[in-house]
Every structure is written in structure tokens, then in C-alpha cells.
Structure 1
Amino acid sequence: MAIKKIVAVTGANGYVASWLVKVLLEQGYHMRGTVRNPDDTAKVGHLLELPGAKERLTLHKADLLEEGAFDDIFTGVEGVFHLAQPTRLGPDEDREKDMVHPAVQGTIDVLSSAAKARTVKRVVYTSSHGILSMSEAATFPEDSHVVVDESW
């Protein structure tokens, strides 16, 4: 298997990100995954057990809301998959303050670190259906197979 370039995955231990890490490892990529706590084996152990992880995956502590947290991690990286999203709803459930603002600021910080690295050629940004369920207009009938897209 030919050695591939280095890519980074933010929020690597999330559900979708975990699958992405698995596929990238299968494709031979070297990876830097970011997580809140790389020592928490209960939350990252499944990543460390993936085939190829011992040789090609490193996990790094990064706080999405800490400016510059990704600067060193993205050095030498050619691609960034940004899947991390803050999930902090406060007791007053102020969605704008607790979810939207941190997600926007975190994405700005990730993009800033990618630009500083000067080696990143592509950034892939994803979201989840969770943002859709925050909409007052979003209703998901239990037995429905509605296709949800950006119009929501």
C-alpha cells in the first residue's frame, strides 16, 4: 500500500467522524485526530483498535473554542475534515449563545489554523441533523421517511 498524505479529522471520536477515520485508515492515510481528551479510552478506545491505527493515527487534545488550538496539529497536514461541534446547552437552553456562536467561532478557529499551516489544500466541513432539529419549523414524524436537506 502506497503511503498517502497526512490529513486531520476534528472531533475524531464522534459517530460520523469515527467512520471517516476508519475509511481513511483503510485507504492508507496518515491521520491526526482531535478529541477533547485523548487519554479517555472509554471515548477513544474504538479508534485505537482500528486496523492501521497504531501505525498511522495519532490523537491530539484540542479545544474547539481555544484560539490557535489546532495550529501545531495542522502543521504539515494537506487536508482537514472538520466534524467537531460544541454540544454545550446551558440550563437556559440559549441555543444562539450555547450552540450557534461556539460552532461559528470554532469553525473560524479551525479555518484560521488551516490557513496558518500553509500546507492545507482542502477543508471539508460537515454538520449534523442536530442543527436542523433546533429549528422551530423542523418536525420529524416518527414514521416518516422525509428527506432532510439544506432547505430545512
Structure 2
Amino acid sequence: MEKSVQVCVTGGAGYIASFLIKHLLERGYTVHATLRSLSHASKVGLLKGLDHAETRLKLFEGDIYNPTEFAAAIHGCEFVFHVATPLQHDGGQYKSTSEAAVAAVKIIAESCLKSKTVKKLIYTASVVAASPSKSDASGYEDTMDESCWTPLDLSYEMFSDYINSKTLAEKEILSYNGLGIEVVSLACGLVGGETIQSFLSVSMSTLISQALSDGTFYKGLRALEDLDSKVPIAHIQDVIDAHIFAMENSDMNGRFLVASDFLKSVEIASLIMKHYPDITILPGFIEDTKRETKWSSKKLEELGFHYKFDADKIIYDSIACAKRLGAI
């Protein structure tokens, strides 16, 4: 059905954001999407090539390192999806990605309040901020759920800047919940399945790194496994549906973990070989941690959300996508 509702999506050309914009346009929403630069032809072309983009998509410049730019895109919107996140430090006025991410969250939240139109701010968070690691580094809690926050006083071999950035930014944005706007934080697992981009995202490359025989991405997979005890995973379509569910469910606010499955990396390897016996996974890419931490996040499903894709389908679709793009 045609909707007159305007929504804003930051980081519009990213893996999750571009898929989200596609589905919002298909559902009839008018979308304000931000890009770091409107002179980037391939990113602009990706979004302008979407169905209904000609009539219901408007592009704005918006850079995490210059967050006052986001106000123009937010103006007149009822819902804001803050998906953009800094992966590498660009210097400038901030000392780190964490400082930049937190400053951007504050300015975006304040822009939502000043707009007088925004009802809900939905933040695309990450499970790197939800580690069940015990703060004394003695192991893991028995379960992983929304009460878990990654201890920032521990040292991490990989992603330390990203872990700090996503953890601090998520806590900051949740502090605005109920202060004139509702805030939803969706801490997403490793996302795979499909893409509208012309290349594999870092997330999907990490998820199927064993099939790619890519040592760098596999190191990232194992680092996430060590951080969260196992690897939370989700299909891109379920992630998008969760974002739209958060927007359309007026009773929903606060923090939610988004993952349909919680697997050891050795179990991911088994699923790859099960569905694609033509793919050989080298011995160095198969390690069993023997960990038995349980996934106990039910908050999203208790509100009526249903995951449509299980681990088998996530892995099957991810490998199929990699083959389609020539990565395998």
C-alpha cells in the first residue's frame, strides 16, 4: 500500500542499509538516504537503480565525521534508521572511531528530537557489543542474551576499536530512549544470505571464510567466536524484517539481539560441506572450541517476530551468493 511516511536511513550504500532501503521502497515508504559523498557514482547508482527510487528516494550527504550533516536528511521523517558506522579512523576532529561514533549518535539523536516529527530511532548495533565474556576474563556466562555487554577493560586481539565503538555508541543511543523519542537497538549477528551489492560484504566473507579459504576473514570469524563464545548468525532478509518490525511495532523499544542461530565455527564448516560437497575446507580452517554457551535471547520473538531462515538456509544462500559473484 502507498504510504506517505518518510523515513531516514544513514549509510545508505552499505550492505544492510542498501537492502533495507530496497525493501522500504517496495513497501511504499519515502526514504531519505545518506551517503558520505554524492559524487561516488557507483554508490549513488546502486540506490538510484532501485525500484521506485525515482519517485520516493532522496539522497543526502552525511558523514559520521561531520555528523551535523544528518539533520537535513532527518528533517520531516517519522522514523530514523542509524545504520552507518565508522570502520576505520579518518582523523579530523575525533581521536578514534569510538569518539566519532558516540559523537554522531548524540547529534543524530538530538536532530531527531529537534525535528519534532521523529517518533522512533532504530540503531543497527552488533553482537560484538554483547559478549557473554566474564569481566575478570575467567570464561563465559552460561547464556548470551540482552543483558550481556562486552567488557571494555579486557584486551582483544582483533576488532578492539570496532568493539569499543559499537559498545559505547549503543549505550549512548539507548540513553535517549523515552526522552522525547523511542529508541530501539538491534544487535545483529554475523549477516549473510544475499546482497544487492556487486561484491561480498565483510560480514558474509567472514561467515563463509572457511569455504573461501581466506585466512584473514577466518581469523575474524574465530575472533568473533572467541568474543561471543559461539557465532551468532542471521539472514539478511530476517535482519531487514527485524528493522521494519521495530519501526512498525509501536510497543517496541530498548535492546534486542538479532540472530536465528548460535553456532561454533566448526558447525558452520559442517553446514558448508553438507550443502556443497564440491567445496573442500582445509584442515587449518576447522577448529572445535568445545564451548557450550547457550543462546537465550527471546525478546524479539516474544513480541511476535518470526525468523524465516535457519542456519542451513543462511549458509546455503551465502555460498550461492558467493558463487554468483565469482568469489567461489
Is TM > 0.5 for Structure 1 vs Structure 2?
yes
Could you say what secondary structure the match of 2:65 adopts?
A: coil
> CA–CA distance in 2 between the matches of 1:11 and 1:41?
15
Output aligned runs, 1:2-151, within 5 Å.
Answer: 2-89=2-89, 97-128=95-126, 134=159, 138-140=223-225, 142-145=265-268
8 A Cα contact 2:6 2:30, kept in partner: yes
Q: 1:8 to 1:147 in 2, by over 3 A?
A: farther
Q: Distance in 1 between matches of 2:44 and 2:72?
A: 21
Distance 1:104 1:149, change over 3 A: farther
Q: Give the partner amino acid of 2:71.
A: D
Contact 2:60-2:72 at 8 Å conserved across structures: no
1:63 Cα offset (Å): 1.7
Aligned twin of 2:143: none
Structure 2 stretches lacking a partner, 5+ long: 132-157, 164-221, 226-263, 269-292, 298-328
SS at match of 2:266: coil
Bigger Rg, structure 1 or 2: 2
Between 1 and 2, higher relative CO (CA 8 Å, sep ≥ 6) is seen in: 1
Aligned pair count? 146
Deviation of 1:144 (Å): 4.3
SS in 2 for 1:81: strand
The separation in 2 between residues aligned to 1:82 and 1:67, in whole angstroms, is: 12
- The structure where helix makes up a greater share of residues is 2
Query: Helix, strand or coil for the counterpart of 1:69?
Result: helix
Report Cα offsets for 1:71-121 as digits up to 9, x if no partner: 22211111100001112247xxxxxx4222211111111111111111101
- Mapped partners of 2:74, 2:35: distance in 1: 14
- What is the Cα deviation at residue 149 of structure 1? 9.2
Identity of aligned residues (%): 34
| Alpha-carbon distance between aligned partners in 1 of 2:104 and 2:75, rounded to the nearest angstrom | 18
Tell me the CA shift for residue 29 of structure 1: 0.3
**TM score, norm. by length of structure 1:** 0.80
1:28 Cα deviation from its structure 2 partner: 0.3
- Counterpart of 1:115 in structure 2: which amino acid? L
SS in 2 for 1:124: strand
Deviation at 1:42, TM superposition (A): 1.3
Change (3 A) 1:149 1:29: farther
Q: Distance in 2 between matches of 1:128 and 1:139?
A: 11
